[in-house]
Amino acid sequence: MGAYWIEGGSPLRGELCIHGAKNSILPILAASILTGGVCELHNCPRISDVEAALQILEHLGCRTEAEGQCIRVDTYEAVSRPIGSAMTERMRAAIIFLGPLLARFGRAELSYPGGCALGERPIDLHLMGLRHMGASCDSGEEGVSCTMEQPRAGVIALPYPSVGATENLILAATACPGETVICNGAKEPEILDLVSFLRCCGAQILVQGSVYRIFGGNALHPCSYRIMPDRMEAVSYLAAAAATRGDISLTNVCPEHLTAVLHVLSRGGCEISRGQGKLRLRCDRLCAVSPIRTAPYDGFPTDAQAPIMAALACAKGVSVMEETVFSNRFLHVPALNDMGANIHASRRYAIIHGVRKLHGAMVEATDLRGGAALVIAALAAEGKSRIDKTEHIERGYQDFSGSLQSLGGKLTME
Ligand code: UD1
């Protein structure tokens, strides 16, 4: 188990290059199974969730090779084998292997990742859609087992735009001869990145807003592909700069993917300039912004809620945040309050009374983005903090501590 020691109070300054997107590479690694050959992926973040996905691919008989930010996956000898709980617990997004395994082998079996810290993570929408495509799915206590002997195209209307369900259904639909239509699909940029990858592999997919039309039934081929930049990594550094009254520039970003968050930060008084693949944020003291309501894309992202809350904890005035995507996503609030924040959270709302100064404390990360929020608060706080259980943070940030150090953050790893 890891820990960070952070001496707060130094404004972050300098330039940072953002890594590839976690939520893009994970479904794309699973999608490589569909190609039965060697895919070469560039701009891959080297984070523990990616290592866990590679372990699942190896377990399925694939060969993987990683060198710097490049990953090669050979799925020629892949087989469909049960993916046990040891692997699904390491990577909660493991459910994304369901679609590709069904599409290529007609069967898939995996243990549930289990309820997670953010609340229940049901997979009913994934299974509903797969059943529409002719899959028969048994979901027992331990896990789910599906077969899809005769995939069939059709129209699937999702009652909620789930990111994972939209991706799984697109992936499974590549095996359905004819046109599969997914209505009310999620529109997160990472899903469009998955679609671009599949198109590079020869898939025919049309996207019209929240409607996906997949013309399936043809074999896909391997390709070489560059993963899009991680918008949540970018948000976290922007929030840290806003909290510490800093001035940072980010490269390898897509500012257009960050519109909702940039709107909040500029309403809070940050000076933001954008260029092609670049962003600069300067902030004196952040002012409260209210209300902020998380929502599917292109709303304010739930993954940005905790990092931005950490910045608002030391802003001038009172902000209100409403979490509508996950049922239990304010786990970081008690630790922020231990650092001197004044936040009242119920299940759905958090009222953040900005304080002049946070102070150092010994706290524990409970989840990925909540953990990043604690680091942001500690960088802004007066005095020393210790943040334990940083393995949560390493699931999604490559070299978080090194990047923050390069911006002048005083942080050491234990
Ligand atoms: C993905 C992202 C995660 C992000 C989330 C929402 C990845 C690897 N993870 O997670 O970082 O926070 O999108 O933007 O891309 N739901 C159901 N039934 C289902 C599926 C989902 O009720 O079958 C509910 C969930 O419990 C949750 C909500 O829908 O409350 C959103 O979940 P979903 O969009 O599926 O998120 P993930 O794909 O798990």
What pLDDT sits at residue 114?
56
CATH of domain 22-226: 3.65.10.10
> Strand runs (DSSP E) across 115-195, as ranges?
136-139, 143-147, 155-157, 178-183
pLDDT tens for residues 297-310?
999 999 999 999 99
Low-confidence ranges of the chain (pLDDT < 70): 114-120
Give the contacts of 371 (CB within 8 A, at least 6 positions apart).
332, 365, 387, 389, 390, 392, 393
Contact 336, 127 (CB under 8 A): no
* CA distance to 12, 194, 226, 398, per residue, from 37 (Å): 44, 17, 17, 28
Residues 6+ apart with CB under 8 A from 118: 326, 327, 328, 329, 331, 367
Atom of ligand 1 nearest to the CA of 303: 12
Cβ of 126 below 6 Å from ligand 1: yes
Closest CA to 94 of 33, 185, 164: 164
Expressed in angstroms and rounded, the spacing between residue 248 Cα and the centre of ligand 1 is 31
Residue pair 26/41 in contact (Cβ under 8 Å)? The answer is: no
Closest to 401 in 3D by CA, of 351, 353, 365, 358? 365
Question: pLDDT digits over 165-175, tens only?
Answer: 999 999 999 99
Q: Whose alpha carbon is nearest atom 35 of ligand 1?
A: 162
Closest CA to 24 of 79, 80, 71: 71
Q: Which of 62, 116, 137, 176 is catalytic?
A: 116
State CA 184 to chain mean position distance: 20
What is the pLDDT, as a whole number, of residue 120? 65
Task: Check residue 115 and give its pLDDT.
Answer: 46
Cα–Cα distance between 163 and 126 in angstroms, integer? Answer: 10
Q: Which atom of ligand 1 is nearest to the CA of 22?
A: 8
Phi, psi of 305 (to 5 degrees): -60, -50
Q: Which atom of ligand 1 is nearest to the CA of 325?
A: 30
- pLDDT at 117 (0 to 100): 67
pTM above 0.85, yes or no: yes
Pair 80, 101: CB distance under 8 Å: yes
Is residue 114 in contact with ligand 1, taking CB distance under 6 Å? no
Q: Which atom number of ligand 1 is nearest to the Cα of residue 121?
A: 26
Tell me, what's the pLDDT at 245? 97
Domain chopping of the chain, boundaries:
3-18+229-413, 22-226
DSSP 8-state class, residue 7 = E
Contact yes or no for 332/396 (Cβ under 8 A)? no
Q: Of all protein residues, whose CA lies closest to atom 39 belonging to ligand 1? A: 164
| 76 Cβ closer than 6 Å to some ligand 1 atom | no
Q: Is the CB of 148 under 6 A from ligand 1?
A: no
- C-alpha to C-alpha distance for 232 and 258, rounded to whole angstroms: 9
Distance in Å, CA 217 to ligand 1 centroid: 27
161 CA → ligand 1 middle, Å: 9
Top CATH class, 3-18+229-413:
alpha beta
pLDDT of residue 118: 64
The answer to whether the CB of 372 is under 6 A from ligand 1 is: no
166 Cα–ligand 1 center, Å: 10
Q: How far is CA 290 from CA 20, 91, 318, 350, 357, in A?
A: 31, 34, 8, 11, 20
Neighbours of 30 (CB within 10 A): 27
Task: Please check whether the two domains, 3-18+229-413 and 22-226, share a CATH topology.
Answer: yes
Task: Answer whether 358's CB lies under 8 Å from 377's CB.
Answer: yes
Distance of CA 356 to the CA centre of its chain: 31
- The response to whether residue 163 sits with its C-beta less than 6 Å from ligand 1 reads yes
Active site annotation includes 70: no
pLDDT on residue 393: 95
First to last CA, the chain: 9
Helix (H) or strand (E) holding 359: none
User: Which ligand 1 atom is nearest residue 368's CA?
Assistant: 11
How many residues are listed for the chain in this entry? 414
Which residues lie below 8 Å from residue 41, measured CB to CB, with a gap of 6+? Answer: 25, 28, 29, 32, 70, 71, 72, 73, 224, 225, 226, 227
